[in-house]
Amino acid sequence: MKKITMSVVALSMTMMSYGQSKLDSIMEMNYQIEEQNHQLDELIDAIKMDMFYGHTERARGMFYVNKALEIKQNNYIKIAMLTRNNE
């Protein structure tokens, strides 16, 4: 489980740096953020499945789910900021 959280942290850190504010780079950034959101959805599903089958404690699993949801929310804020700055 630590490997999964470390990879989520690594992905979120790569998304922190914005490219140049050209339209192509903004569209590429949006695509990367959306792709990360899809990966986070898959991670959340896997954690919930682990909780259901008893591989992970419910409290610990919900902690990881909530952290992943925080990252997703930050990603949506980043997308909104990128598109607002582009207009």
Three-state SS sequence of the chain: CHHHHHHHHHHHHHCCCCCCCCHHHHHHHHHHHHHHHHHHHHHHHHHHHHHHCCCCCHHHHHHHHHHHHHHHHHHHHHHHHHHHHHC
Does the predicted TM-score (pTM) go above 0.75? no
Residue 79 is predicted with a pLDDT of 84
Residue 29 scores a pLDDT above 60: yes
Query: Average pLDDT, whole number, for the chain?
Result: 81
* 54-73 pLDDT tens trace: 999 999 999 999 999 999 99
